[in-house]
């Protein structure tokens, strides 16, 4: 595992975007797993800038980690009225780069057959040759995607019930500002499993801010546990890169010796 600590969110985002850009340059038809949430927004804005300077996404294949289940998806609506991760990805990245529509895969939060959809999503990843780089965040309780505490480390893409902390965190970060009542939030999500993520050839986990410092320490230095599914990065067998700002890294042991600190 390679841990990089940057001075602030802006520098962290630039480093992460440069890493993704290098993956695309080295393998123009690479398969990238994309994450949502507030943390990768800066990275995606940097990627848009790099694209405008010439980076070609036309052969890149994208798979999104997750999507709320049962939420309305209407790309003609303003973002504030549609909190789907589909809209997030188009708004924050896909509308601004030359990725092909047929190469974009996002879980269908309105599917009537979630179990079959999840099986098909796993097959689509395999048919694409597997994920070359999976971008990850980390939840306040240490979850990856919507793999809530207790999720098996060999879990696959599935429908997952969201726990109270996730609902509260996401309500305060996104739904409240958009005018949703908390009880109107979706209670379930379709998510790649931890086992699905661990099959990626490389992963890059991003975290910023002092609020993430404690859970970053637990995920990177504590025991590997299903109670913090991001701790599975410690047993990951591919190339693992963790990119933090100084605040998120502040509780790690020997921070001064970590690359980029």
Residue 110, token pair as written in the block: 């309105």
Q: Mark whether 141 is an active-site residue.
A: yes
> What are residue 2's DSSP bridge partners?
241
Marked catalytic residue, from 46, 66, 122, 160: 66
Provide the token pair at 203.
């992963």
Tens-digit pLDDT profile for the chain (261 aa)? 999 999 999 999 999 999 999 999 999 999 999 999 899 999 999 999 999 999 999 999 999 999 999 876 655 654 444 678 898 999 999 999 999 999 999 999 989 999 999 999 999 999 999 999 999 999 989 999 999 999 999 999 999 998 888 888 888 877 777 777 777 788 899 999 999 999 999 999 999 999 999 999 999 999 999 999 999 999 999 999 999 999 999 999 977 667 775
Angle, in degrees to the nearest 10, between helices 41-52 and 9-26: 50
Catalytic residue among 132, 141, 245, 247: 141
82 is catalytic: no
Residues 243, 206 contacting (CB under 8 angstroms)? yes
Q: Of these residues, 46, 51, 92, 143, which one is catalytic?
A: 143
Map tokens 């025991």 to a residue: 223
Nearest partner of 108 among 63, 68, 160, judged by Cα: 68
Predicted TM-score (pTM) of the model is 0.92
List the one residue out of 64, 102, 54 whose CA is nearest residue 86.
64
- SS3 readout for the chain: CEEEEECCHHHHHHHHHHHHHHHHHHCCCCEEEECCCCCCHHHHHHHHHHHHCCCCCCCCEEEECEEEECCCCCCCCCHHHCCCHHHHHHHHCHHHCCCCHHHEECCCCCCCCHHHHHHHHHHHHHHCCCCCEEEECCCCCCCECCECCCCCCCCCCEEEECCHHHHHHHHHHHHCCCCCCHHHCCCEEEECCHHHHHCCCEEEEEECCHHHHHHHHHHHHCCCECCEHHHHHHHCCCEEEEEEECCCCCCCCCHHHCCCC
What are residue 176's phi and psi, to 5 degrees?
Answer: -60, -45
- Nearest Cα neighbor of 207 from 2, 9, 34, 19 is 9
Domain residue ranges in the chain: 2-257
- Neighbouring CB atoms inside 10 A of 244's CB total 29
In the set 46, 67, 122, 148, the catalytic residue is 148
Residue 239: how many other CB atoms lie within 10 Å: 13
Its CATH class, for the domain covering 2-257, is: alpha beta
């Amino acid at each position: 595992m390679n841990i990089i600590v940057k001075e602030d969110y802006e520098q962290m985002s630039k480093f992460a975007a440069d890493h993704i850009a290098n993956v695309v340059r080295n393998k123009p038809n690479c398969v990238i797993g994309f994450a949502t949430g507030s943390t990768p927004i800066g990275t995606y804005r940097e990627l848009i800038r790099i694209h405008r300077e010439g980076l070609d996404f036309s052969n890149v294949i994208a798979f999104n980690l997750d999507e709320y289940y049962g939420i309305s998806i209407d790309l003609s609506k303003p973002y504030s009225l549609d909190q789907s991760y589909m809209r997030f990805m188009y708004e924050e990245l896909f509308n601004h780069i030359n990725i092909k529509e047929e190469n974009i895969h996002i879980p269908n939060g309105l599917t009537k057959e979630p179990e079959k959809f999840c099986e098909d999503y796993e097959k689509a990843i395999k048919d694409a040759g597997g994920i070359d780089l999976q971008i990850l965040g980390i939840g306040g309780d240490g979850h990856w995607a919507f793999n809530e505490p207790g999720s098996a480390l060999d879990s696959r893409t599935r429908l997952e019930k969201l726990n109270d902390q996730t609902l509260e965190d996401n309500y305060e970060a996104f739904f409240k500002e958009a005018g949703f009542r908390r009880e109107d939030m979706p209670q379930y999500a379709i998510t790649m499993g931890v086992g699905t993520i661990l099959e990626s050839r490389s992963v890059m986990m991003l975290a910023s801010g002092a609020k993430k410092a404690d859970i970053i320490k637990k995920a990177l230095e504590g025991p590997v546990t299903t109670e913090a599914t991001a701790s599975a990065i410690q047993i990951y067998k591919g190339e693992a890169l963790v990119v933090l700002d100084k605040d998120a890294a502040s509780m790690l042991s020997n921070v001064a010796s970590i690359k980029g600190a």
